[in-house]
Amino acid sequence: MIHPVRLDGLSQVDPLESLAGARPMDDVCVMLSNPQVEINAEGETELIIDCEPTQIVGRFVGLVRILSRVDSQSNLFRVRHHNTATTNFYKGTEEIICIPQVPQDRKGITRSTNKNIEKSQLNLKGWYIYGAPNAEGTFVVQAIEPRALVQLEPQKVITKSSAIFKYINRGMWAKTKLLKGKCQTVLLANNQKNKETAVSQWKLGDKALVIHLFGGIGGQKAEAAAWLPVPGHLSYGIAEVVRDSISNELRFDIIYHQVYGHNLDGITSGSITWAAYMGSLWQGWY
């Protein structure tokens, strides 16, 4: 387990110290909601918050389409940034960035790969990349989030109640092997006339309940059967419709409320963004 050894011997550890000390290095980065800075009676500066911080990853964010790998032995990729003038990637600024290959976990499993990422179905809509420049000025990706996953417009809309029932019972888990390396977004909109009217129901500021669910790891390096009846994990979260600061389009901003205590890969219990939980190249659970 990853123990908060840096807090050993300290008395009266407060919640923020507990969060910062959850991992052995100073790499827990958070976002504060409506913080206030005040000067108290002793002339000291105080930071006042009224809710728990949300864990994030990366100091900067961009929206890019990956064009090509620089060479076969490199983790450098040529990308094109989203162009606000054209509202797509046409004539966007090009740059070379680093997308590190995810190392194997403690069981020898590589949970994701940057191999052929430029050929991915998800690359058409682009990726949100989170990270910061290194000493040479090259942007190093710490987390990646497919834009297609968080856009309001889904890949498929089902409006008839009978078809919705069939999809929930059969279709949602059908042909899962064929979905490897892809994402699937389906809007179940009972009694809506068509796709356009169903999607238009989402408005800025709307919130939806998120249920995050995964099972055991299978395949050639399947994890051992757990003592629990069902392996895996579930948590809840909130998806809020926000105005994207880069594309200016409405999108979902997903924040999980994880209840790990804490896991072996450094996932820390609490509020955490999709990019930090799912998309992190180091702690991510894809």
Please report the pLDDT score of residue 194 as a whole number.
Answer: 76
- With contact defined as beta carbons under 8 Å apart, do 49 and 31 qualify? no
How do the pLDDT tens digits run along the chain, 286 residues long?
A: 688 888 999 989 998 998 999 888 888 999 998 899 999 999 999 999 999 999 999 999 999 999 999 998 899 999 999 999 999 999 999 999 999 998 887 777 777 889 999 999 999 999 999 999 999 999 999 999 999 999 999 999 998 899 999 999 999 888 888 888 888 899 998 877 777 888 888 999 999 999 988 877 777 777 666 555 656 788 899 999 999 999 999 999 999 998 776 777 788 889 999 999 899 998 776 5
Q: Which two tokens stand for residue 204?
A: 């800025």
Number of residues assigned to the chain? 286
Q: Contact 144/99 with Cβ under 8 angstroms?
A: yes
Distance in angstroms (rounded) separating the CA atoms of residues 252 and 150 = 5
Residue closest to 198 by CA, chosen among 237, 168, 155: 155
pLDDT at position 286 = 56
Q: What is the dihedral of CA 16, 21, 26, 28, to 10 degrees?
A: -60
Please tell me the predicted confidence (pLDDT) of residue 192. Answer: 79
Q: Give pLDDT, residue 261.
A: 67
Can you tell me the distance from the alpha carbon of 159 to that of 166, in angstroms, rounded to the nearest whole number?
A: 12
pLDDT confidence of residue 228: 57
Q: For position 231, what pLDDT does the model report? A: 66
Report the alpha-carbon distance of residue 259 to residue 271 in Å, rounded.
Answer: 9
3-state SS of the chain: helix, strand, coil percent to 5?
15, 30, 50
Residue 275: predicted pLDDT: 95
Residue type, 35: P
The reported pLDDT for the residue numbered 41 is: 92
Q: The tokens of 236 are what?
A: 């809840």
* pLDDT of res. 174: 87
- Give residues with Cβ within 8 angstroms of 51, minimum separation 6: 33
